[in-house]
Amino acid sequence: MRKAPGEWISPLTASDISSAGVSASWPQVVGEDTWWLETRPEEGGRRVVVSKRLGDLLPAPFSASHSVHEYGGRSFLGLADGSSYILYFSNKKDQRLYKKVGESKPEPLTPESEGNDRYAELIRVGEEIWCVRERNSEGRCKREIIAVSDNGEIRTLVSGHQFYMNPRVSPDGRHLIWVSWEHPDMPWDGTELFIADIHKGNVINKRVIAGNRKNPVLSPEWLDNNTIIYIDEESGWWNPWWVDLNGTRKQIVTEDSEWGFPAWQLGYRAIATLDNGKFIGIHGPVDARKLALVDPKSGLVQDFHSEFTHFSNTFASDGKRLVAFGASSSQFPTLVEFDLDSLKVKEVIRSNPLPLPNGYAPKIQEITVKGLERDVKVILHEATHPDHPNPGPTPLLVQVHGGPTGNSSATVDLDYLYWTTRGFTIADINYGGSTGYGSKYRHLLDGKWGIVDYEDVITSVEYLIKEGIADPKKVFISGGSAGGFTVLNALIHSNHFVAGADHYGVAELTGLATDTHDFESRYLDSMIGPYPERKDLYDERSPLTHAEKLTTPLIIFQGLDDKVVPPSQSEAFRDVCVKKGLKHKYFAFEGEGHGFVKAESRITSLEEELQFFGEAGGFKPFIR
């Protein structure tokens, strides 16, 4: 008997997805070896440094993960040491910086602080590790660039700024560069590129050579002792520029394409310089990103050849070798090494195939939805099953990315396969304010968060219903963090949805402005208005203010250790559902923060959300 979309028998269970859900990122070239970081749900989300040659380098219970900005990022540094190696890493449990030599036990370099001192952006300078330190004490947060010796001695190198990223020392050791920004700016609003002299190990005479409060620059790398390649947004797009020691600047590539990214995590990179005087970057539209080799003298851009359509900003090079994670509509992030002469894949280091036949791989495409006030970018993942061709209108699951300054890529997603193989079409909404489409599109959210985002969601849903893609009686919506905020507003301000899922979403903006972590504590100044001067807007845009309008069944998921969006936000909407007698479920996960990494949390979230949507929509989805 032919089953309706939403009830298809999928070869994937939530347990399968959790087991296959080991994610990998942050590659590094270490001598002739390649290292990367794996996050393993079956080990409680432990993050393990892995070597291509040697396998796991980090024994349990150590986990390479830092909490700077609460979002983490690159957490380790590897060095070749003759026939052995040296590994420096931040440890998740205590946030201390450790050193591990070969097979020896990791030894701490920094003092115990109960997790209040955190370390990121590790670079080796002489006999020291230079890095960004974040100190949290009595509700205050202070960051500096520091030096840590192997005997645990700590020196402050640079202080006085709110935020730091991308510290880099010139090849001759005479200069340090870094990027800083101050409250209330975010690193995609406005940053400054600093340079300073290094004299007898100390950093002196700092000055700004690029960027300002209206121009977010990022990812500087030394091309030689006198030239820095970096990303600048002066043209309206994040493009590559060069700048010399005196601040003379020139744009290298001019195109309507983003070479940069929103710096949510420390350790991202947009540039890697090579020993031959050229550099590597990533560019292209959201659904066709390419690694590129650039000659800074001529401006010639040559794309690397591969079947991948997306590359993460964690690629790495030592000047001679290039490794990167690439993904596509049929391949999960795959670690490969590229040949710098042929510009082709030289070797697949870590394969990551689909855990099912290719007949289940969905067609993924980006479409532009014409709206009354603006166009909306939407990435569609089509419902796909070899036993159910041409299904017609299907249940629609609208996915809303977080950030909100982020975007969704046009690549296969393990969790999404759980839905598309069951007959759901997924619409990933890159609403106004998303990255990837130039500064003008990203700034559409300025002063209008809580308006533009949910309006773009509704515009997209109405279009997909009109075009016969979505079954109007089976439209669902899900999102996390800022995406959860948009989910709640979309449910309140429309009647298109049969049910919604809120993953650690923002319910009340005043609470977010006064009870969140330092990195985002002034984020809402640009997206809503200064607080408390515009408290009226905070109240008006908060979903909780209009909670009496909620009539749609709602399922809520929350990590109890979340420092970005505290549990009180989710609990508020849970209480609204209880008071109204509205169909709902609430799940609070012990030991989870902002995003779930444990196997049991991932399994519960997928299965319960699917079952909840089926009950609300009047159909019986395949669970196991």
At 268 the pLDDT is: 96
Question: Taking CA 487 as the corner, what is the angle to CA 499 and CA 237, rounded to the nearest 5 degrees?
Answer: 145
**Top-tier CATH class for 22-160:** mainly beta
Q: Which CATH number does 358-617 carry?
A: 3.40.50.1820
303, containing H or E segment = strand 301-303
Instruction: Give me the residue label for tokens 């001192």.
Output: 117
Amino acid letter, 161: H
**Which residue in 349, 347, 319, 344 sits closest to 333, CA to CA?**
349
At 353 the pLDDT is: 84
Residue 541: alpha-carbon gap to chain centroid: 25
pLDDT per residue as tens digits for the range 321-341:
999 999 998 889 999 999 999
At 415 the pLDDT is: 93
Residues of the chain with pLDDT under 70: 1
**Which residue in 482, 524, 509 sits closest to 572, CA to CA?**
509
CA distance linking residue 484 with residue 490, whole number of Å: 10
pLDDT per residue as tens digits for the range 494-540:
999 999 999 999 999 998 888 888 999 999 999 999 999 999 999 99
At 123 the pLDDT is: 98
* φ, ψ dihedrals at 272, nearest 5°: -135, 120
Q: Indicate the domain borders of the chain.
A: 22-160, 358-617
Q: Give the DSSP per-residue string, 104-160.
A: SPPEE-S---TT-EEEEEEEEETTEEEEEEEEEETTEEEEEEEEEETT--EEEEE-S
At 1 the pLDDT is: 61
Give CA separation, 60 vs 103, 114, 118, in Å.
Answer: 13, 20, 20
* Distance in Å from the first CA to the final CA of the chain: 19
Single pTM value for the model: 0.94
Contact assessment for residue 278 and residue 293, using Cβ atoms and an 8 Å cutoff: yes
